Protein backbone atom coordinates (compact mmCIF):
# COMPACT_ATOMS: atom_id res chain seq x y z
CA UNK A 1 0.00 0.00 0.00
CA UNK A 2 1.39 3.38 -0.96
CA UNK A 3 -0.88 6.36 -1.13
CA UNK A 4 -0.39 10.03 -1.72
CA UNK A 5 -1.91 12.73 0.44
CA UNK A 6 -1.44 16.44 0.88
CA UNK A 7 -0.82 16.01 4.61
CA UNK A 8 -0.52 13.19 7.13
CA UNK A 9 -1.74 13.58 10.70
CA UNK A 10 -0.28 11.05 13.13
CA UNK A 11 -2.62 10.20 15.98
CA UNK A 12 -6.42 10.52 16.03
CA UNK A 13 -6.73 12.08 19.47
CA UNK A 14 -8.16 15.56 20.06
CA UNK A 15 -5.11 17.29 18.56
CA UNK A 16 -4.85 15.07 15.47
CA UNK A 17 -8.54 14.89 14.67
CA UNK A 18 -8.90 18.67 15.11
CA UNK A 19 -6.00 19.17 12.68
CA UNK A 20 -7.42 16.71 10.13
CA UNK A 21 -10.88 18.23 10.46
CA UNK A 22 -9.53 21.74 9.84
CA UNK A 23 -7.55 20.68 6.78
CA UNK A 24 -10.32 18.51 5.32
CA UNK A 25 -12.81 21.37 5.62
CA UNK A 26 -10.41 23.51 3.59
CA UNK A 27 -10.38 20.84 0.89
CA UNK A 28 -6.99 19.23 1.59
CA UNK A 29 -6.57 15.52 1.01
CA UNK A 30 -5.46 14.47 4.48
CA UNK A 31 -4.69 11.08 6.05
CA UNK A 32 -5.43 10.63 9.74
CA UNK A 33 -3.34 7.71 11.00
CA UNK A 34 -4.29 5.98 14.25
CA UNK A 35 -2.58 3.02 15.93
CA UNK A 36 -5.70 1.85 17.74
CA UNK A 37 -8.30 -0.25 15.97
CA UNK A 38 -10.53 2.80 16.45
CA UNK A 39 -9.75 6.36 17.59
CA UNK A 40 -9.84 6.59 21.36
CA UNK A 41 -8.94 2.95 21.96
CA UNK A 42 -5.53 3.96 23.36
CA UNK A 43 -6.63 7.05 25.23
CA UNK A 44 -6.66 7.30 28.95
CA UNK A 45 -8.17 10.28 30.59
CA UNK A 46 -8.78 11.45 34.11
CA UNK A 47 -10.12 14.88 33.75
CA UNK A 48 -12.77 17.20 32.54
CA UNK A 49 -13.57 18.59 29.17
CA UNK A 50 -13.73 22.35 29.63
CA UNK A 51 -14.68 25.01 27.11
CA UNK A 52 -13.35 24.15 23.67
CA UNK A 53 -13.04 27.52 21.89
CA UNK A 54 -11.67 26.15 18.63
CA UNK A 55 -14.20 23.31 18.26
CA UNK A 56 -17.05 25.57 19.37
CA UNK A 57 -16.12 27.80 16.44
CA UNK A 58 -16.13 24.90 13.96
CA UNK A 59 -19.36 23.43 15.40
CA UNK A 60 -21.69 26.12 16.76
CA UNK A 61 -23.74 23.20 18.13
CA UNK A 62 -20.67 21.50 19.66
CA UNK A 63 -22.30 20.96 23.05
CA UNK A 64 -25.31 19.14 21.57
CA UNK A 65 -23.24 17.32 19.00
CA UNK A 66 -20.35 15.89 21.04
CA UNK A 67 -20.88 12.74 23.12
CA UNK A 68 -20.41 14.01 26.67
CA UNK A 69 -21.37 12.72 30.09
CA UNK A 70 -22.34 14.89 33.09
CA UNK A 71 -21.70 18.62 33.43
CA UNK A 72 -19.84 19.45 36.64
CA UNK A 73 -21.75 21.63 39.08
CA UNK A 74 -19.83 20.68 42.18
CA UNK A 75 -16.06 20.66 42.59
CA UNK A 76 -14.22 19.65 45.71
CA UNK A 77 -10.77 19.35 47.22
CA UNK A 78 -10.00 16.84 49.94
CA UNK A 79 -6.97 16.86 52.22
CA UNK A 80 -6.39 13.36 53.46
CA UNK A 81 -4.27 11.73 56.10
CA UNK A 82 -4.68 8.16 57.24
CA UNK A 83 -8.33 7.62 58.05
CA UNK A 84 -9.20 11.34 58.28
CA UNK A 85 -9.99 13.87 55.61
CA UNK A 86 -10.95 17.51 55.33
CA UNK A 87 -12.96 18.55 52.28
CA UNK A 88 -14.17 21.76 50.77
CA UNK A 89 -16.63 21.92 47.91
CA UNK A 90 -17.99 24.66 45.72
CA UNK A 91 -21.37 24.27 44.10
CA UNK A 92 -22.08 27.28 41.94
CA UNK A 93 -25.31 28.23 40.22
CA UNK A 94 -23.35 29.34 37.18
CA UNK A 95 -21.86 25.86 36.83
CA UNK A 96 -25.40 24.58 36.22
CA UNK A 97 -26.20 26.96 33.37
CA UNK A 98 -25.00 26.68 29.79
CA UNK A 99 -22.35 27.16 28.61
CA UNK A 100 -21.26 24.64 31.23
CA UNK A 101 -17.79 24.94 32.70
CA UNK A 102 -16.80 21.31 32.41
CA UNK A 103 -17.97 17.84 31.48
CA UNK A 104 -16.93 14.32 32.25
CA UNK A 105 -16.36 12.39 29.06
CA UNK A 106 -15.45 8.90 27.83
CA UNK A 107 -12.53 9.23 25.49
CA UNK A 108 -13.15 6.10 23.42
CA UNK A 109 -16.51 7.64 22.48
CA UNK A 110 -15.42 11.27 22.22
CA UNK A 111 -12.30 10.64 20.16
CA UNK A 112 -14.17 8.33 17.83
CA UNK A 113 -16.81 10.98 17.29
CA UNK A 114 -14.27 13.73 16.56
CA UNK A 115 -12.39 11.51 14.09
CA UNK A 116 -15.70 10.66 12.39
CA UNK A 117 -16.39 14.39 12.01
CA UNK A 118 -12.99 14.70 10.29
CA UNK A 119 -13.92 11.80 8.00
CA UNK A 120 -17.30 13.40 7.24
CA UNK A 121 -15.38 16.53 6.20
CA UNK A 122 -13.30 14.45 3.80
CA UNK A 123 -10.29 13.14 5.76
CA UNK A 124 -9.14 9.54 5.27
CA UNK A 125 -8.93 7.68 8.57
CA UNK A 126 -6.41 4.84 8.62
CA UNK A 127 -6.74 2.81 11.84
CA UNK A 128 -4.64 -0.09 13.22
CA UNK A 129 -1.54 1.64 11.92
CA UNK A 130 1.42 2.55 14.12
CA UNK A 131 3.71 5.02 12.39
CA UNK A 132 7.21 3.57 12.25
CA UNK A 133 9.66 5.67 10.24
CA UNK A 134 9.66 9.06 8.60
CA UNK A 135 10.40 8.75 4.88
CA UNK A 136 12.78 11.33 3.44
CA UNK A 137 13.25 12.18 -0.22
CA UNK A 138 16.13 14.46 -1.22
CA UNK A 139 16.53 15.30 2.47
CA UNK A 140 12.91 16.45 2.80
CA UNK A 141 10.00 14.82 4.59
CA UNK A 142 8.02 12.78 2.07
CA UNK A 143 5.86 10.50 4.20
CA UNK A 144 5.81 7.73 6.81
CA UNK A 145 5.92 3.94 6.98
CA UNK A 146 3.39 2.12 9.14
CA UNK A 147 3.24 -1.09 11.19
CA UNK A 148 0.05 -3.10 11.55
CA UNK A 149 -1.35 -2.48 8.15
CA UNK A 150 1.84 -2.43 6.13
CA UNK A 151 2.99 0.11 3.63
CA UNK A 152 3.88 3.70 3.12
CA UNK A 153 1.92 6.94 3.10
CA UNK A 154 3.26 9.93 1.19
CA UNK A 155 2.80 13.62 1.92
CA UNK A 156 5.03 16.69 2.02
CA UNK A 157 3.99 17.61 5.54
CA UNK A 158 3.27 15.80 8.82
CA UNK A 159 1.39 16.80 11.95
CA UNK A 160 2.82 14.82 14.88
CA UNK A 161 -0.09 14.40 17.28
CA UNK A 162 1.10 11.00 18.45
CA UNK A 163 0.91 11.65 22.16
CA UNK A 164 3.13 12.27 25.12
CA UNK A 165 6.16 10.23 24.00
CA UNK A 166 5.92 11.40 20.35
CA UNK A 167 8.35 9.15 18.55
CA UNK A 168 7.59 11.12 15.41
CA UNK A 169 8.94 14.31 17.00
CA UNK A 170 11.96 12.31 18.21
CA UNK A 171 12.69 10.94 14.73
CA UNK A 172 12.34 14.40 13.24
CA UNK A 173 14.89 15.68 15.78
CA UNK A 174 12.36 17.98 17.46
CA UNK A 175 12.29 16.47 20.94
CA UNK A 176 15.18 15.41 23.17
CA UNK A 177 16.08 11.68 23.14
CA UNK A 178 15.33 11.34 26.87
CA UNK A 179 12.69 12.75 29.17
CA UNK A 180 13.27 14.15 32.62
CA UNK A 181 11.22 12.09 35.13
CA UNK A 182 10.72 15.34 37.06
CA UNK A 183 8.61 16.60 34.14
CA UNK A 184 6.41 13.52 33.82
CA UNK A 185 3.60 12.00 35.83
CA UNK A 186 1.74 8.73 35.49
CA UNK A 187 -1.97 8.44 36.12
CA UNK A 188 -3.72 5.19 37.04
CA UNK A 189 -7.46 4.89 37.08
CA UNK A 190 -10.22 2.55 38.11
CA UNK A 191 -13.51 2.84 36.28
CA UNK A 192 -16.30 1.72 38.59
CA UNK A 193 -19.74 0.66 37.47
CA UNK A 194 -22.63 2.15 39.44
CA UNK A 195 -26.32 2.73 38.64
CA UNK A 196 -27.20 6.27 37.71
CA UNK A 197 -29.80 6.71 40.48
CA UNK A 198 -27.30 5.57 43.08
CA UNK A 199 -24.76 8.15 41.88
CA UNK A 200 -27.41 10.92 41.86
CA UNK A 201 -28.55 10.09 45.35
CA UNK A 202 -25.11 9.55 46.86
CA UNK A 203 -23.56 12.76 45.56
CA UNK A 204 -26.62 15.01 45.60
CA UNK A 205 -27.07 15.35 41.86
CA UNK A 206 -30.12 15.76 39.61
CA UNK A 207 -30.62 15.75 35.84
CA UNK A 208 -27.17 15.54 34.19
CA UNK A 209 -25.32 17.20 37.04
CA UNK A 210 -21.91 15.88 37.95
CA UNK A 211 -19.40 16.05 40.78
CA UNK A 212 -15.61 16.20 40.55
CA UNK A 213 -13.18 16.01 43.43
CA UNK A 214 -9.43 16.20 43.87
CA UNK A 215 -7.40 14.71 46.70
CA UNK A 216 -4.07 15.55 48.28
CA UNK A 217 -2.37 13.42 50.88
CA UNK A 218 -3.65 10.14 49.46
CA UNK A 219 -0.37 8.93 47.94
CA UNK A 220 1.59 7.84 51.02
CA UNK A 221 4.09 10.65 50.63
CA UNK A 222 4.72 10.09 46.90
CA UNK A 223 4.31 13.44 45.11
CA UNK A 224 0.94 13.28 43.43
CA UNK A 225 -2.76 13.36 44.08
CA UNK A 226 -6.10 11.76 43.47
CA UNK A 227 -9.12 12.55 41.39
CA UNK A 228 -12.73 11.46 41.28
CA UNK A 229 -15.37 12.02 38.62
CA UNK A 230 -18.97 11.02 38.15
CA UNK A 231 -20.03 9.79 34.73
CA UNK A 232 -23.68 8.95 33.87
CA UNK A 233 -23.52 5.47 35.32
CA UNK A 234 -19.96 4.98 36.43
CA UNK A 235 -17.32 6.58 38.61
CA UNK A 236 -13.71 7.34 37.69
CA UNK A 237 -11.26 7.17 40.54
CA UNK A 238 -7.59 7.75 39.90
CA UNK A 239 -4.20 8.67 41.25
CA UNK A 240 -1.42 10.64 39.61
CA UNK A 241 2.25 10.34 40.62
CA UNK A 242 5.27 12.42 39.67
CA UNK A 243 7.69 9.92 38.16
CA UNK A 244 10.81 11.35 39.82
CA UNK A 245 9.14 10.70 43.16
CA UNK A 246 7.49 7.36 42.33
CA UNK A 247 10.62 5.72 40.91
CA UNK A 248 12.56 6.11 44.14
CA UNK A 249 9.62 5.44 46.49
CA UNK A 250 9.58 1.65 46.20
CA UNK A 251 5.77 1.90 46.10
CA UNK A 252 3.62 0.60 43.27
CA UNK A 253 0.79 2.50 41.57
CA UNK A 254 -1.70 -0.36 42.01
CA UNK A 255 -0.98 -0.84 45.72
CA UNK A 256 -1.39 2.89 46.27
CA UNK A 257 -4.63 2.85 44.26
CA UNK A 258 -5.91 -0.05 46.34
CA UNK A 259 -5.06 1.72 49.58
CA UNK A 260 -6.80 4.83 48.26
CA UNK A 261 -9.92 2.83 47.37
CA UNK A 262 -9.92 1.32 50.85
CA UNK A 263 -9.46 4.60 52.73
CA UNK A 264 -12.71 4.80 54.77
CA UNK A 265 -14.09 7.99 53.20
CA UNK A 266 -13.25 6.91 49.66
CA UNK A 267 -14.54 3.40 50.28
CA UNK A 268 -17.94 4.90 51.11
CA UNK A 269 -17.98 6.86 47.85
CA UNK A 270 -17.45 3.77 45.72
CA UNK A 271 -19.12 1.07 47.82
CA UNK A 272 -21.62 -0.99 45.87
CA UNK A 273 -19.71 -0.33 42.65
CA UNK A 274 -17.91 -2.88 40.52
CA UNK A 275 -14.51 -2.41 38.86
CA UNK A 276 -14.93 -2.28 35.08
CA UNK A 277 -11.57 -1.17 33.76
CA UNK A 278 -8.06 -0.35 34.94
CA UNK A 279 -5.92 2.01 32.90
CA UNK A 280 -2.69 3.98 33.05
CA UNK A 281 -0.97 6.71 31.05
CA UNK A 282 1.75 9.33 31.21
CA UNK A 283 0.97 13.02 31.58
CA UNK A 284 3.44 15.68 30.42
CA UNK A 285 3.47 17.89 33.51
CA UNK A 286 6.61 19.93 32.91
CA UNK A 287 4.64 22.83 31.47
CA UNK A 288 6.20 25.58 29.41
CA UNK A 289 9.78 24.46 30.01
CA UNK A 290 9.04 21.03 28.56
CA UNK A 291 7.77 22.18 25.17
CA UNK A 292 9.88 20.67 22.34
CA UNK A 293 10.72 22.34 19.04
CA UNK A 294 7.24 22.86 17.64
CA UNK A 295 8.06 23.18 13.96
CA UNK A 296 10.64 21.63 11.65
CA UNK A 297 10.98 21.30 7.90
CA UNK A 298 7.81 19.49 6.83
CA UNK A 299 6.53 18.83 10.35
CA UNK A 300 4.45 20.38 13.15
CA UNK A 301 4.08 18.97 16.69
CA UNK A 302 0.71 19.32 18.50
CA UNK A 303 -1.14 18.21 21.61
CA UNK A 304 0.50 16.04 24.28
CA UNK A 305 3.36 15.46 21.81
CA UNK A 306 4.12 19.15 22.29
CA UNK A 307 3.60 18.87 26.09
CA UNK A 308 0.50 21.07 25.87
CA UNK A 309 -0.84 20.17 29.26
CA UNK A 310 -1.56 22.68 31.99
CA UNK A 311 -1.41 20.96 35.36
CA UNK A 312 -1.19 23.64 38.01
CA UNK A 313 -2.69 21.63 40.82
CA UNK A 314 -6.34 22.58 40.99
CA UNK A 315 -7.20 22.55 37.31
CA UNK A 316 -5.93 20.00 34.85
CA UNK A 317 -6.19 21.01 31.23
CA UNK A 318 -5.13 19.08 28.18
CA UNK A 319 -7.89 18.32 25.69
CA UNK A 320 -8.67 21.99 25.12
CA UNK A 321 -5.02 22.84 24.52
CA UNK A 322 -4.59 19.79 22.27
CA UNK A 323 -7.63 20.56 20.19
CA UNK A 324 -6.72 24.22 19.78
CA UNK A 325 -3.14 23.37 18.79
CA UNK A 326 -4.53 20.86 16.26
CA UNK A 327 -6.79 23.46 14.64
CA UNK A 328 -3.91 25.95 14.46
CA UNK A 329 -1.60 23.25 13.03
CA UNK A 330 -4.24 22.59 10.37
CA UNK A 331 -4.43 26.29 9.53
CA UNK A 332 -0.64 26.51 9.23
CA UNK A 333 -0.57 23.52 6.85
CA UNK A 334 -3.31 25.10 4.73
CA UNK A 335 -1.25 28.31 4.50
CA UNK A 336 1.87 26.29 3.61
CA UNK A 337 -0.01 24.54 0.80
CA UNK A 338 -1.15 27.88 -0.59
CA UNK A 339 2.41 29.17 -0.58
CA UNK A 340 3.87 25.83 -1.67
CA UNK A 341 6.41 26.11 1.14
CA UNK A 342 6.65 23.29 3.68
CA UNK A 343 9.93 24.41 5.20
CA UNK A 344 10.20 25.37 8.85
CA UNK A 345 9.86 28.96 7.68
CA UNK A 346 6.73 28.14 5.70
CA UNK A 347 5.08 26.58 8.75
CA UNK A 348 5.93 29.27 11.32
CA UNK A 349 2.36 30.56 11.29
CA UNK A 350 1.76 27.69 13.75
CA UNK A 351 4.05 29.14 16.38
CA UNK A 352 2.82 32.65 15.86
CA UNK A 353 -0.85 31.68 16.22
CA UNK A 354 -0.13 29.56 19.28
CA UNK A 355 1.89 32.31 20.95
CA UNK A 356 -1.12 34.59 20.64
CA UNK A 357 -3.53 31.99 22.04
CA UNK A 358 -4.41 30.75 25.53
CA UNK A 359 -2.28 27.65 24.90
CA UNK A 360 1.12 29.33 25.18
CA UNK A 361 -0.07 32.29 27.25
CA UNK A 362 -1.48 30.08 30.01
CA UNK A 363 1.50 27.72 30.00
CA UNK A 364 3.85 30.70 30.25
CA UNK A 365 1.91 32.17 33.12
CA UNK A 366 1.96 28.87 35.03
CA UNK A 367 5.61 28.32 34.18
CA UNK A 368 6.72 28.06 37.83
CA UNK A 369 3.84 25.89 39.02
CA UNK A 370 5.58 22.58 38.17
CA UNK A 371 8.55 23.58 40.37
CA UNK A 372 6.30 24.65 43.23
CA UNK A 373 4.49 21.30 43.02
CA UNK A 374 7.78 19.47 43.59
CA UNK A 375 7.60 20.42 47.25
CA UNK A 376 7.12 17.12 49.09
CA UNK A 377 5.36 18.81 52.02
CA UNK A 378 2.29 19.45 49.85
CA UNK A 379 1.65 15.73 49.62
CA UNK A 380 2.14 14.70 53.20
CA UNK A 381 2.68 17.36 55.85
CA UNK A 382 0.12 19.92 54.68
CA UNK A 383 -2.81 17.50 54.36
CA UNK A 384 -1.87 16.19 57.80
CA UNK A 385 -1.76 19.72 59.17
CA UNK A 386 -5.17 20.60 57.70
CA UNK A 387 -6.84 17.47 59.05
CA UNK A 388 -5.20 17.86 62.46
CA UNK A 389 -6.26 21.51 62.70
CA UNK A 390 -9.89 20.84 61.72
CA UNK A 391 -10.07 17.83 64.02
CA UNK A 392 -8.90 19.98 66.94
CA UNK A 393 -11.37 22.75 66.10
CA UNK A 394 -14.31 20.35 66.26
CA UNK A 395 -13.16 18.44 69.32
CA UNK A 396 -15.19 19.32 72.38
CA UNK A 397 -13.82 17.53 75.38
CA UNK A 398 -15.10 19.43 78.39
CA UNK A 399 -11.78 21.16 78.96
CA UNK A 400 -11.06 24.87 78.26
CA UNK A 401 -10.52 25.51 74.52
CA UNK A 402 -7.55 27.17 72.86
CA UNK A 403 -8.36 29.95 70.41
CA UNK A 404 -8.34 29.20 66.67
CA UNK A 405 -5.09 31.01 65.94
CA UNK A 406 -3.29 29.07 68.63
CA UNK A 407 -4.75 25.80 67.38
CA UNK A 408 -3.64 26.60 63.85
CA UNK A 409 -0.13 27.54 64.91
CA UNK A 410 0.08 24.38 67.00
CA UNK A 411 -0.87 22.16 64.02
CA UNK A 412 1.43 24.12 61.71
CA UNK A 413 4.38 23.95 64.13
CA UNK A 414 3.96 20.24 64.78
CA UNK A 415 3.26 19.08 61.25
CA UNK A 416 5.05 21.51 58.94
CA UNK A 417 7.21 23.98 60.85
CA UNK A 418 6.50 27.70 60.82
CA UNK A 419 9.55 28.59 58.72
CA UNK A 420 8.49 26.09 56.04
CA UNK A 421 4.95 27.43 56.14
CA UNK A 422 6.15 30.98 55.42
CA UNK A 423 8.58 29.90 52.70
CA UNK A 424 6.03 27.63 50.99
CA UNK A 425 3.32 30.27 51.15
CA UNK A 426 5.66 32.74 49.51
CA UNK A 427 6.67 30.36 46.73
CA UNK A 428 3.05 29.35 46.08
CA UNK A 429 2.02 33.00 45.87
CA UNK A 430 4.89 33.72 43.45
CA UNK A 431 4.16 30.83 41.14
CA UNK A 432 0.41 31.23 40.94
Interacting residue ranges for other proteins, rule: CB under 8 A: 34-37, 40-45, 106-109, 127-130, 132, 146-149, 164-165, 167, 178-179, 181, 184, 186, 188-191, 234, 236, 243, 246-254, 257-258, 261, 275-282
We find the least distance from the C-beta atom of residue 199 to other proteins, in angstroms, to be 15
Q: Residue 10 or 353: which CB sits closer to other proteins?
A: 10
Q: Which is nearer to other proteins, 265 or 279 (CB)?
A: 279
Minimum distance between the CB of residue 362 and other proteins, rounded to whole angstroms? 24
List C-alpha distances in Å: 279 to 46, 127, 354: 10, 21, 31
Query: 40 or 287, CB closer to other proteins?
Result: 40
Minimum distance of other proteins from residue 42's CB (angstroms): 6
403 burial level (CB within 10 Å; 0-12, 13-18, 19+): exposed
* Cβ closest to other proteins, residue 17 vs residue 236: 236
Burial tier of 237 (Cβ tally within 10 Å: 0-12, 13-18, 19+): buried
With the CA atoms of 401, 406, 407 and 412 taken in that order, what torsion angle do they form, in degrees rounded to the nearest 10? -170
| Min separation Cβ 132 and other proteins, Å | 8
DSSP 8-class letter at 103: B
- Cβ atoms 242, 374 nearer than 8 A: yes
Q: Which is nearer to other proteins, 251 or 410 (CB)?
A: 251
If the CB atoms of residues 41 and 297 are measured against other proteins, the closer one turns out to be 41
CA distance 412 to 410: 5
Name 365's Cβ contacts closer than 8 Å, sequence gap at least 6.
Answer: none
Instruction: Name 79's bridge partners.
Output: 86, 216
d(CA 99, CA 117): 22
Alpha-carbon distance of 400 to 192, in angstroms, equals 46
Q: What is the CA angle 43-29-319, rounded to 5?
A: 25
Question: Would you say 301 or 347 has its CB closer to other proteins?
Answer: 301
Q: How far is the CB of 233 from other proteins (least distance, A)?
A: 10
Given a contact cutoff of 8 angstroms between Cβ atoms, the answer to whether 298 and 340 are in contact is no
Instruction: Reply yes or no: is the peptide bond before residue 101 cis, omega within 30 of 0.
Output: no
Q: How far is the CB of 216 from other proteins (least distance, A)?
A: 20
Q: Which residue lies nearer to other proteins by CB, 123 or 186?
A: 186
Least distance between other proteins and beta carbon 222 (Å): 10
Q: Cβ of residue 366: shortest distance to other proteins, in angstroms?
A: 21
For residue 242, what are the contacts with CB-CB under 8 A and spacing of at least 6? 181, 182, 184, 185, 222, 223, 224, 285, 373, 374
Amino acid sequence: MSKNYQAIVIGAGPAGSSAALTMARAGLDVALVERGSFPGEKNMFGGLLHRMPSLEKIFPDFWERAPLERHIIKKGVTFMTGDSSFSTTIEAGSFDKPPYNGYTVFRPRFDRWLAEEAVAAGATLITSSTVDQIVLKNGKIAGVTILGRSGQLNAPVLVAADGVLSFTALKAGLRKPTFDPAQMAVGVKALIDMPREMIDERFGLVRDQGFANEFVGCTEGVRGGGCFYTNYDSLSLGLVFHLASLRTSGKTPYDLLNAFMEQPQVAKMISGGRLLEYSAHLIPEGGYDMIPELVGDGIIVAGDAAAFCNATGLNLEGINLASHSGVVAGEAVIAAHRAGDFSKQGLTAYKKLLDESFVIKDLKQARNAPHMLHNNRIYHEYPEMMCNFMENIYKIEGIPKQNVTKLFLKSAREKVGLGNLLADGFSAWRSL
